[in-house]
Amino acid sequence: MAGATARTLFDKVWDAHAILTREDGQSLLLIDRHFFHEGSHHAFNQLKARGAAVAQPSQNIGVADHYVPTRGRGGAIADASIGHMVRQLSENAARHGIRLFGLDNPDQGIVHVVGPEQGLTLPGLTIVCGDSHTSTHGAFGTIAFGIGASEVAHVLMTQTLWQRRPGRMRVTVEGRPGPGIGAKDIALSIIARIGADGAQGHAVEYAGSAIRGLSIEGRMTLCNLSIESGARCGMVAPDGMTLDYLRGRPFAPQGTAFDRAAEAWLALPGDPSATFDREVAMDAAEIAPIVTWGVSPEDALPITATLPDPERITDPARAAQVRDGLDYMGLRPGQRLTEIAVDRVFIGSCTNSRIEDLRAAAAVLAGRRARIPGLVSPGSTPVKRQAEEEGLDRIFREAGLEWVEAGCSMCVGMNGDLLAPGERCASTTNRNFRGRQGKGSRTHLMSPAMAAAAAVTGHLADVRPLLAGRA
């Protein structure tokens, strides 16, 4: 292999986990952390069918998030099938002696919020979960990706996974983003540029001054959306900010053990002469607040734009996609994005539910009233407590939005937090697929600040004027 001595961040983490590599290119990787949620029942049933045990129970962590109710906690779950899903998770964790952040745990939350918050996510690890947004954990310089139920069963039984080494791709964003522009705007701009399959078969490393300038939470939002460009995983090299975030977290090493680990972590960034199979470069100064208009995350445009006209698109497949998207979303070619009236707002999900996301939304909502109903679901119970200490819950409530408990909630609607058919939602989530937030629902993806702007105006809106004169 050319340049075998100069390695990227991805190479270093991969090489440290390859137990063996076959001639056909498949490597058996050690998996450091496996997170699982209520959807793991298919995998646990596979174990049961084989009469198999969990190989390394302590390296597996259960988290209740996909089906948990966001209201009326503490009592019995009203919906029997949802109650069954949450109970089944607890039973499977207990049967195999696995640590669980269950519904009643004071640290419960969305798996991709809980892992980093608890210091379970550390640089240089391999992390998998039966959830495609596992890419979130790459913000710490981990190889983290979503897997299916058969692979979940494989990890439970062996603590390993067979993988082919993906291609290496670097997305470099240089410069300073303008005011009101966040990690979500950068991420959606990348997806709009390269496409929903633009990074397929590749491990993406995000680099450049605009990325280094993002907070750890911003890096999580960015890496979270890697899967929406089809990437195997997304990564940011660990640095001083990463260490500052992790120091003192419950499951991170403590004291001198932390210092020893930190030394290893700071050796993870790629060698300067390491090369990538693909390079994409973007200028942060050109990134505007961005929203999606169609039914794929690649259908994203700056808020100042107008909707595309399929009649003017020469590629018939692309024209068909635009026509279908506009039709499903109930929109007209040439319409201004800011003319689109919204029925509801949702602030939450593994993409944008951390404390900085809630602060960004609250900065827009403070002293203002929402014109439409909405739901704010913090990413974890600790995030909820912190937001309440900071008085953010009061700002949301006074604006007329509902402040609820932590979970995946209206991102995927499995717990019953759903839009009605035809309803249009300004959402801080990750997927604008048809029916994602409920049968017939229409989703526009955007940052928390932009969702707050939609709430106070009642339509898709540029948040920048609303931030004028505010900190």
Distance CA 352, CA 346 (A): 10
- At 175, the amino acid letter reads G
Written as six digits, the tokens of 309 are 């006209």
Distance CA 379, CA 381 (A): 7
Give the number of other Cβ atoms within 10 Å of residue 80's Cβ. 8
124, amino acid identity: G
From residue 162, give the alpha-carbon distance in Å to each of 310, 351, 366. 43, 28, 50
Sheet holding 160-164, edge to edge: 18-21, 26-30, 160-164
Q: DSSP states of 79-146 as a string?
A: SHHHHHHHHHHHHHHHHTT-EEE-TT-TT-B-HHHHHHHTT-S-TT-EEEESSGGGGGGGGGS-EEEE
With tokens 């907070």, the residue in question is 215
Q: Is 207 helix (H, G, I), strand (E, B) or coil?
A: strand
Q: Which residues, including other chains, have CB under 8 Å from residue 257's CB and lie 6 or more apart?
A: none
Q: How far is the CB of 463 from another protein (least distance, A)?
A: 27
Nearer to another protein by Cβ, of 1 and 19: the residue is 19
The Cα 121–Cα 249 span in angstroms is 10
Residue 112 has phi, psi (to 5 degrees) of: -85, -5
Q: Is 350 annotated as a binding residue?
A: yes
Residue 369 C-beta: closest distance to another protein, Å = 33
Measured from the CB of residue 130, what is the shortest distance to another protein in angstroms?
Answer: 6
Q: How far is the CB of 363 from another protein (least distance, A)?
A: 31
CB of residue 358 to another protein, shortest distance in Å = 25
**Residue closer to another protein, measured from CB, 25 or 272:** 25
User: Does 411 show up as a binding residue in the annotation?
Assistant: yes
Tell the smallest beta-carbon distance from residue 244 to another protein (Å): 17
Task: State the nearest-atom distance from the C-beta of 165 to another protein, in Å.
Answer: 12
Three-state secondary structure call for residue 212:
helix
408 annotated to bind ligand:
yes
In the bound state with another protein, the residue whose beta carbon lies nearer, of 203 and 290, is: 203
Token readout for 41 is 């029942």
Nearest-approach distance from CB 392 to another protein, in angstroms? 29
* Buried b / exposed e along 84-116 (16+ C-beta atoms within 10 A): ebbebbbebbeebebbbbbbeeeebbbbbbbbb
Looking at the DSSP assignment, which residues form a beta bridge with residue 283?
174
Q: How far apart are CA 65 and CA 115, in angstroms?
A: 12
Q: Nearest distance from residue 406's CB to another protein, in Å?
A: 19
Question: Which is closer to another protein, CB of 320 or CB of 341?
Answer: 320
131 vs 405, beta carbon nearer another protein: 131
Which residue number, 322 or 365, has a Cβ lying nearer to another protein?
322
Strand 18-21 relative to strand 26-30: parallel, antiparallel, unpaired? antiparallel
Answer whether 100's CB lies under 8 Å from 89's CB: yes
Task: For another protein, give the closer residue by CB, 277 or 286.
Answer: 277
Shorter beta-carbon distance to another protein: residue 239 or 324: 324
Residue 229 or 457 with smaller CB distance to another protein: 229
Which positions make up the binding site? 350, 408, 411
Which positions make up the binding site for [4Fe-4S] cluster? 350, 408, 411
